[in-house]
């Protein structure tokens, strides 16, 4: 997507955020937004958001990811000013905005239902934020044309929302959020109403638009694939807390706890007890399965020997052998239940003694695939078997 160039704001790192969501103490001038001890309750008893500390970096694409009821949308609404924290503060460029009304925060906002005015043309919808700010008419026309060019809607300015497709309406909502050049754009599942193919296309376009503009995007979604595709960092929410905040590759490859390992991406999980362990959290350890088999892995949370643990491995990190290999390290005998064709890979679902089904991803180039009922030997390299307390 070719876009008019705008000045790109700095996107250099603001601070180090520890795995698991614990923020480092130093705060850089590149921090745009800070949540400090923010809590939210609606009934005075149950906390929807629990003591949130979060730094949002200037120029980054940050996704808030989590299941329904995890607190992610409430955080976005508090940042937008549509909800007020029960406790704590929200700061913008170091200045508190906790009690600043939404219209004075000057943030762009895109909702799932687009919230377009049906009686207005596309141009009038996009111009609305400028009109309420009393921008001169000549300047409004120039900025509307520029915003529509950004989202490839030039020539559709006189149409009404009902005359546009869902994807085009989404672009109008985005142009309206960008037309007054906000330093922060908030999005609440804006692609949720689109079909799969269009949603994936818009993900790429949004990421490219962010790259060219350099505006800070904060994006709420429950779709893990969407978050991984677009984001610089992802904050994973559950039960009102950030479970982990990290760049996308580390989030996927090194989940910090059981919830993140199970929620982000596919995984095969094994239950057992912890055997020998060295060096505490992050050190090598041994998983003892109920069948007596022993596997080597990483002790992510510092579980103690004898504790009940859960091990997790990504399906693409499991090798499937049709005959038992000479190296028996981390080798499990299994039976193939299903072989499912996914276009770019095959997915095996395999039965393991005393465990839930194991999922294995095989590239199409892997040779002759196994068939249902066939015995296979599954092998996991120790660095990819992550063991959680």
Look up the CATH number of the domain holding residue 213: 3.40.50.300
Same domain, 90 and 52: yes
- 149 or 8, which is more confident: 149
Per the structure, the complete domain to which residue 241 belongs is given by 31-107+182-253
pLDDT of residue 81: 94
CATH number for the domain that contains residue 307? 2.40.50.140
pLDDT of residue 19: 37
Three-state SS string over the chain comes to: CCCCCCCCCCCCCCCCECCCCCECCCCCCCEEEEEEEEEEECCCCCEEEEEEEEEEECCCEEEEECCCCCCHHHHHHHHHCCCCCCEEEEEECCEECCCCCHHHCCCEEEECCCCCCCCCCHHHHHHHHHHHCCCCHHHHHHHHHHHHHHCCCCCCCCCCHHHCCHHHHHHHHHHHHHCCCCCEEEEECCCCCCCHHHHHHHHHHHHHHHHHHCCEEEEEECCHHHHHHHCCEEEEEECCEEEEEEEHHHHHHCCCCHHHHHHCCCCEEEEEEEEEECCCCCEEEEEECCCCCEEEEEECCCCCCCCEEEEEECHHHEEEECCCCCCCCCEEEEEEEEEEECCCEEEEEEECCCCCCEEEEEEHHHCCCCCCCCEEEEEECHHHCEEEC
Same domain, 273 and 370: yes
The answer to whether the CB of 244 falls within 8 A of the CB of 21 is: yes
| Residue 153 domain flag | no
Same domain, 306 and 379: yes
- Is residue 353's pLDDT more than 70? yes
Please identify, among 253, 279, 299, the residue that sits at the C-terminal boundary of a domain.
Answer: 253
- 366 or 91, which is more confident: 91
Give mean pLDDT, residues 285-309.
95
What tens digit of pLDDT does each residue of 150-202 get?
A: 888 899 999 999 999 888 888 899 999 999 889 899 999 888 777 888 888 88
Same domain, 208 and 333: no
pLDDT of residue 111: 84
Q: How far apart are CA 49 and CA 85, in angstroms?
A: 9
Give mean pLDDT, residues 325-346.
92
| pLDDT grade for 28, boundaries at 50, 70 and 90 | low
- Which of 239-248, 334-343, 361-370 is least confident? 361-370
CA distances for 179 relative to 158, 182, 272, 290, 341, angstroms: 17, 8, 55, 60, 45
| Residue 135 domain flag | no
Q: What is the mean pLDDT of the chain?
A: 88
Give mean pLDDT, residues 14-20.
34
Same domain, 288 and 246: no
pLDDT of residue 25: 41
- Is residue 18's pLDDT more than 50? no
Domain count, the chain: 2
- Is residue 1's pLDDT more than 60? no
- Is residue 114's pLDDT more than 90? no
Same domain, 312 and 246: no
Give mean pLDDT, residues 29-52.
93
Same domain, 285 and 191: no
Same domain, 357 and 274: yes
Query: Residues of the chain with pLDDT > 90: what percent?
Result: 67
Same domain, 276 and 362: yes
pLDDT of residue 213: 87
- Is residue 96's pLDDT more than 60? yes
pLDDT of residue 184: 94
| pLDDT grade for 31, boundaries at 50, 70 and 90 | very high
pLDDT of residue 13: 31
| Residue 147 domain flag | no
pLDDT of residue 3: 37
| Residue 155 domain flag | no
- Which of 88-102, 133-147, 195-209, 242-256 is least confident? 195-209
Query: Residues of the chain with pLDDT > 70: what percent?
Result: 93
pLDDT of residue 186: 95
Give mean pLDDT, residues 58-79.
95
Same domain, 81 and 206: yes
């Amino acid at each position: 997507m070719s876009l008019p160039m705008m000045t790109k704001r700095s996107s250099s790192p603001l601070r180090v955020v520890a795995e698991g969501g614990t923020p480092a103490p130093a705060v850089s001038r590149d921090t745009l937004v800070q949540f400090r001890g923010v809590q939210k309750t609606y009934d005075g008893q149950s906390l929807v958001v629990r003591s949130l500390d979060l730094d949002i970096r200037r120029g980054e694409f940050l996704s808030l990811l989590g299941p329904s009821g995890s607190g992610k949308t409430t955080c976005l609404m508090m940042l937008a000013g549509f909800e007020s924290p029960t406790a704590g503060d929200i700061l913008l460029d170091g200045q508190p905005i906790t009690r600043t009304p939404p219209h004075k925060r000057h943030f762009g906002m895109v909702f799932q239902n687009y919230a377009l005015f049906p009686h207005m043309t596309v141009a009038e919808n996009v111009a609305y934020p400028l009109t309420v700010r009393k921008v001169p008419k000549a300047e409004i026309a120039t900025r509307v044309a520029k915003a529509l060019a950004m989202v490839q809607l030039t020539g559709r300015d006189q149409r009404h929302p009902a005359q546009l497709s869902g994807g085009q309406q989404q672009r109008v909502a985005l142009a309206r959020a960008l037309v007054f050049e906000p330093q922060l754009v908030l999005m609440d599942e804006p692609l949720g109403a689109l079909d799969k193919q269009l949603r994936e296309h818009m993900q790429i376009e949004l990421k490219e638009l962010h790259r060219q503009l350099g505006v800070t995007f904060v994006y709420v979604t429950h779709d893990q694939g969407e978050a991984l595709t677009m984001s610089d960092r992802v904050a994973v929410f559950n039960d009102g807390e950030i479970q982990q905040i990290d760049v996308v590759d580390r989030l996927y490859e090194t989940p910090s706890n059981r919830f993140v390992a199970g929620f982000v991406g596919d995984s095969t999980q094994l239950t057992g007890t912890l055997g020998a362990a060295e060096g505490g959290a992050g050190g090598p350890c041994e998983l003892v399965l109920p069948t007596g088999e022993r596997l080597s892995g990483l002790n992510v949370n510092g579980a103690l020997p004898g504790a009940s643990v859960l091990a997790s491995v990504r399906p693409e990190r499991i090798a499937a052998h049709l005959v038992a290999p000479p190296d028996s390290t981390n080798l499990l005998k299994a039976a193939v239940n299903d072989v499912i064709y996914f276009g770019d890979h095959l997915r095996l679902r395999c039965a393991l003694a005393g465990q839930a089904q194991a999922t294995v991803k095989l590239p199409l180039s892997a040779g002759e695939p196994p068939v249902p009922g066939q015995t296979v030997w599954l092998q996991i390299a120790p660095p990819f078997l992550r063991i959680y307390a």
